[in-house]
Amino acid sequence: MSAPDRPAVLLRGAWVMAPEPVRDGAVAVVGDRIAAVGPYAELAAAYPGADVHGGEHDIVCPGFVNTHGHFSEGLITGIASQHTLVEWLDALIAPVKLHTTPEVARLGTLVAGIQMLRSGITTANDMFVTGTGPEPVTPAVVEALDELRLRGVVSYGAGDADTGDPAAELAEHDALREAAAGSDLCTFRLGMGSMLSHSPALLEQAVAYAVDGGHGVHVHLQEVREEVTRMRVTTGRTSVEHAAHVGLFEAPTLAAHCVWTDRRDRELMAEHRVGVAHNPLANGILASGIAPVAELRQLGVDVGFGVDGAASNDAQDFLQAIKTGALLARVRDLQATAMTAREAFEIATIGGARALRMEDEIGSIEVGKKADLVLLDGSGPTLANVHEPYQAVVFVAGSREVAEVWVDGLPSVLGGDVVTVDPVEVAERSRPVARRLVTEAGLGHLSALAGAV
Ligand SMILES: [Zn+2]
């Protein structure tokens, strides 16, 4: 059935979290779009034949926008967290990426994507990190996202610093771009592992690829002090300054982390409308620091939350990321007003959409936007008494309250679980592949699974 022919659906809640929340409200979904938002009684009368999901105690939220992650880490969760970033890249990511096959990509995306959907994520901005081999690996990410019905912004985390082969990096970008072009739910961005991972030749080609091709960019920027120091030593500029200098920011750019930015960096990002992905959990596990979210937002920089990769977070639970983001801001400033629940909610939804320049399509419950929606179950004890809805979502709800997730007007989660794949079967299929991955990567000193093939 094509999208406009499907019967209308109403998602009903005690609260509909539109830009101004609607009490005892509903959202009407027609096809892939939000057709109406208002009091439930009015919408029930206007759409008499509609299927009604949710109920009088539930909360309807916009789908959460995960602005940064790595499906390439889907099978290496809960490993090597004793390291800070540079050590961790060397100990874990570098060996694993050489053994990352399309099967690893597909299963890693399914394993992580199921967790994302179960926590209310409807859009995932991914950067897949892999070595380049005889066949492209990253198109398997698109296949898995389509299978899950999870909206994706997909990129390949390129870098030729180790290989000296820029052409192989560009070929992987091409393969992923072509795969995304064949998907209804995925769009392509040009990914860059970091400014440091790019030779001057590849950097120049990456800028041209993004700017001339009209593609967005997804890059790690100034996550740790070591990056800033090395960039200053080699170029005389910070990564942000160098990116601006070489014209990278002429393309719509999403920068992950930006923990170690100074005022000049932040002003440059604001000037070029660079969006920022704030990853409070990964920044905590790798002890990278606390991003200056308030300072960025004061300058008008669009900030979203990210779960980051399954190897550096390690859970793929967006509600944990939202709560931790709000708490870190408060602990940093020792002020309970440093980030309100409403601000955290907005960062998690429309803030992330703006950071990805997708705010015209997703990120809020408004008529005409894509029907990407989350229904939180209010029938149980957790949300039994909602005194203030933003605080209920940000500080009270957990992923077990995520009852339904709708992407592009269709359900991807019903009854608390994904509908298009069997999660237990995915877990079972992932086990031998994960064991083989850590064994081939020589990670016996880090993983109890290595050598157990
Ligand atoms: Zn990352």
CB 206 within 8 A of CB 193: no
What SS3 state is found at 136? Answer: coil
Cα 308 to middle of ligand 1, angstroms: 5
Cα 386 to middle of ligand 1, angstroms: 35
Cα 153 to middle of ligand 1, angstroms: 14
Cα 309 to middle of ligand 1, angstroms: 6
**Rounded to whole angstroms, how far apart are CA atoms 203 and 256?**
18
118, 25: one domain: no
Residue 296 domain flag? yes
Cα 270 to middle of ligand 1, angstroms: 21
Domain harbouring 124, CATH code: 3.20.20.140
Residue 159 domain flag? yes
pLDDT grade for 2, boundaries at 50, 70 and 90: low
Cα 282 to middle of ligand 1, angstroms: 8
Q: Which two tokens stand for residue 113?
A: 């994507």
Cα 220 to middle of ligand 1, angstroms: 6
Residue 314 domain flag? yes
What SS3 state is found at 220? Answer: strand
Tell me the residue range of the domain where 93 lies.
Answer: 64-355
Phi, psi of 370 (to 5 degrees): -60, 140
Cα 16 to middle of ligand 1, angstroms: 32
CB 305 within 8 A of CB 66: yes
Cα 196 to middle of ligand 1, angstroms: 14
Cα 255 to middle of ligand 1, angstroms: 10
Q: Which two tokens stand for residue 356?
A: 């990805």
236, 342: one domain: yes
Highest mean pLDDT among 70-84, 311-325, 378-392: 378-392
264, 215: one domain: yes
Domain count, the chain: 2
CB 62 within 8 A of CB 42: no
285, 269: one domain: yes
> Which residue, 61, 11, 42, is CA-closest to 363?
61
162 vs 343, residue with greater confidence: 343
**pLDDT beyond 80 at 453:** no
Cα 126 to middle of ligand 1, angstroms: 9
Mean pLDDT value across residues 282-311: 94
pLDDT grade for 124, boundaries at 50, 70 and 90: very high
pLDDT of residue 81: 84
Cα 258 to middle of ligand 1, angstroms: 11
pLDDT of residue 297: 97
pLDDT grade for 451, boundaries at 50, 70 and 90: confident
76, 19: one domain: no
**pLDDT beyond 90 at 79:** no
pLDDT tens digit string along 201-223? Answer: 999 999 999 999 999 999 999 99
Q: What is the mean pLDDT of the chain?
A: 95
Phi, psi of 24 (to 5 degrees): 50, 55
Cα 369 to middle of ligand 1, angstroms: 28
172, 283: one domain: yes
Cα 334 to middle of ligand 1, angstroms: 27
Q: Which two tokens stand for residue 20?
A: 């101004």
Q: Domain ends where: 327, 355, 383?
A: 355
Residue 12 domain flag? yes
195, 324: one domain: yes
pLDDT grade for 312, boundaries at 50, 70 and 90: confident
pLDDT of residue 86: 85
**pLDDT beyond 80 at 3:** no
What SS3 state is found at 429? Answer: helix
Cα 254 to middle of ligand 1, angstroms: 12
Cα 39 to middle of ligand 1, angstroms: 41
**pLDDT beyond 60 at 93:** yes
Mean pLDDT value across residues 174-200: 97
**Rounded to whole angstroms, how far apart are CA atoms 114 and 318?**
12
224, 326: one domain: yes
What SS3 state is found at 14? Answer: strand
Domain harbouring 385, CATH code: 2.30.40.10
Percent of the chain at pLDDT > 70 equals 99
pLDDT tens digit string along 404-431? Answer: 999 999 999 999 999 999 999 999 999 9
Helix (H) or strand (E) holding 303: strand 303-305
Is 5 exposed, middle or buried, given 0-12, 13-18 or 19+ CB atoms closer than 10 A? exposed
**Rounded to whole angstroms, how far apart are CA atoms 70 and 127?**
5
pLDDT grade for 311, boundaries at 50, 70 and 90: confident
pLDDT tens digit string along 235-250? Answer: 999 999 999 999 999 9
**pLDDT beyond 80 at 339:** yes
335, 266: one domain: yes
DSSP 419: S
pLDDT of residue 452: 56
Helix (H) or strand (E) holding 228: helix 225-235
In the chain, what is the straight-line distance between the N-terminal and C-terminal CA atoms, in Å? 45
- C-alpha angle 100-193-446 in degrees, rounded to nearest 5: 50
Q: How many residues in total does the chain contain?
A: 453
298, 390: one domain: no
Cα 247 to middle of ligand 1, angstroms: 22
38, 85: one domain: no
Cα 257 to middle of ligand 1, angstroms: 8
